């Protein structure tokens, strides 16, 4: 069975496993105070060119989103997201579990539009009589989006400007950030991106780690007593080294970027194969997630050889499916996939 269902079906990049072995018997303090987490943080600060960044390691994306959103929002505020945003539909209500509303605006191929965002927010500040409404207190975007699409530098700059005009923090979900940064369609660097947002996370789980997301508050803006807040939400590992070691490995010798680039190269080959075979794309994605429309008979056949994701029903005889490459996809797997397509 060919593994194209997602980017988290295999274990970790071998360099990470090796690092576990090398550091295994070195005693370290718990709760994120270990030397490996500290070292990873220094490397991430340098990669982002954010010397004042504060970095915290969280075990997964749902948790990272909930921790960030609920510690940054004020009591009476909600988070603005695209109606297709992960936090609005695919987190089992984890944001609402923290007591806060997800305020949706229309997504366009997964992206929000700066102008529409401005119009939405402006409504709350034109008069002072919104006692019955949830105020927007944060803007959530994902890069790449849930549809594999990317915000351009110009788009991000415009969204960031809106957020700063209204003093609303901008949060970027980077669960697959590496795959975005290494896409040929990408026109923004990690330091540029870090300047435009107030908090983001660098995804590990989907980019070669066994678990872990590095939450980055970019300009010394981490909420006070953040460790207590994280612990209170059950999101603090006793062995913080588990994630620290992994991010230290990922940010040594550009490993994070190299394995992301590999996945993108594999996606390019996948896309070429799909195009060649005449598949119709559901959306034009420049990253590691590819979406195609197949007729249901073909889908049934494919299922025998390939693990892919159901995406959505198109009509009674057609379905959109998702094929995903990752740090672990091999050229051999692409070759085999070509045979069965």
Q: Which of residues 158-217 bind a second copy (CB under 8 A)?
A: 205-206, 210-211
Among 15, 35, 39, 94, which residue sits at the site for a second copy (rule: CB under 8 A)? 94
What would the two tokens of residue 233 be? 């939400």
Among 108, 115, 130, 303, which residue sits at the site for a second copy (rule: CB under 8 A)? 130
Contacts of 166 (CB under 8 A, 6+ apart): 121, 125, 136
Kindly list the distances between the CA atom of residue 2 and the CA atoms of 95, 247, 324, 337, in Å, as whole numbers in the listed order: 34, 28, 11, 7
Contact stretch for a second copy (CB under 8 A) within 70-78, 247-255, 285-293, 296-304: 70-78
Site for a second copy in 276-315 (CB under 8 A): 307
Residue 120's SS3 state is helix
**Minimum CB distance to a second copy smaller for 4 or for 282:** 4
Contact stretch for a second copy (CB under 8 A) within 75-83, 140-148, 191-199, 267-275: 75-83
Smallest separation, CB 214 to a second copy (Å): 16
Q: Identify the CA nearest to 309 among candidates 148, 158, 129.
A: 148
Smallest separation, CB 103 to a second copy (Å): 9
Among 46, 115, 164, 231, which residue sits at the site for a second copy (rule: CB under 8 A)? 231
SS (H, E, C) 290-307: EEEEEEHHHHHHHCCCEE
What would the two tokens of residue 130 be? 């919104």
**Minimum CB distance to a second copy smaller for 135 or for 281:** 135
Residue 134 engages a second copy in binding (rule: CB under 8 A): yes
Contact stretch for a second copy (CB under 8 A) within 96-104, 113-121, 151-159, 292-300: 96-104
The rounded distance, in Å, linking the Cα atoms of 72 and 163 is 14
Residue 322 engages a second copy in binding (rule: CB under 8 A): no
Kindly list the distances between the CA atom of residue 285 and the CA atoms of 32, 146, 179, 266, in Å, as whole numbers in the listed order: 36, 10, 11, 13
Residue 150 engages a second copy in binding (rule: CB under 8 A): no
CA 309 to chain CA centroid, nearest Å: 18
What would the two tokens of residue 210 be? 């066994």
**Minimum CB distance to a second copy smaller for 67 or for 197:** 67
Site for a second copy in 239-258 (CB under 8 A): 239, 241-242
Residue 11 engages a second copy in binding (rule: CB under 8 A): yes
The rounded distance, in Å, linking the Cα atoms of 112 and 132 is 25
CA 260 to chain CA centroid, nearest Å: 13
Among 225, 272, 284, 305, which residue sits at the site for a second copy (rule: CB under 8 A)? 225
Among 15, 17, 38, 185, which residue sits at the site for a second copy (rule: CB under 8 A)? 17
Residue 54 engages a second copy in binding (rule: CB under 8 A): no
């Amino acid at each position: 069975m060919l593994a194209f269902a997602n980017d988290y079906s295999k274990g970790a990049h071998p360099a990470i496993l090796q690092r576990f072995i090398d550091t295994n018997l070195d005693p370290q303090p718990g709760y994120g105070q270990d030397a490996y987490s500290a070292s990873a943080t220094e490397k991430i600060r340098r990669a982002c060119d954010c010397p004042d960044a504060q970095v915290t390691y969280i075990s997964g994306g749902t948790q990272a989103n909930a921790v960030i959103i609920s510690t940054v929002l004020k009591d009476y505020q909600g988070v603005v997201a695209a109606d297709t945003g992960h936090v609005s539909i695919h987190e089992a209500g984890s944001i609402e579990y923290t007591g806060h509303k997800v305020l949706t605006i229309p997504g366009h191929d997964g992206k929000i539009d700066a102008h529409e965002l401005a119009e939405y927010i402006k409504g709350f500040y034109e008069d002072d009589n919104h006692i019955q409404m949830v105020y927007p207190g944060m803007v959530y975007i994902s890069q790449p989006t849930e549809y594999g699409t990317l915000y351009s530098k110009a788009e991000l700059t415009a969204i960031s400007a809106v957020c700063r005009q209204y003093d609303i923090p901008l949060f970027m979900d980077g669960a697959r950030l590496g795959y975005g940064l290494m896409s040929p369609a990408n026109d923004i660097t990690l330091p540029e991106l870090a300047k435009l947002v107030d908090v983001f996370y660098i995804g590990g789980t989907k980019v070669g780690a066994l678990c872990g997301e590095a939450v980055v508050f970019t300009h010394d803006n981490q909420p006070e007593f953040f460790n207590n807040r994280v612990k209170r939400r059950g999101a603090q590992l006793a062995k913080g080294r588990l994630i620290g070691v992994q991010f230290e490995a990922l940010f040594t010798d550009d490993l994070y970027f190299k394995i992301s680039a590999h996945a993108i190269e594999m996606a390019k080959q996948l896309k070429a194969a799909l195009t060649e075979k005449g598949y119709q794309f559901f959306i034009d994605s420049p990253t590691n997630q590819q979406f195609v429309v197949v007729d249901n008979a073909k889908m049934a056949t494919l299922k025998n050889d390939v693990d892919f994701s159901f995406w959505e029903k198109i009509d009674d005889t057609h379905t959109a499916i998702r094929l995903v490459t990752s740090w672990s996809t091999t050229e051999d797997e692409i070759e085999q996939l070509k045979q069965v397509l």
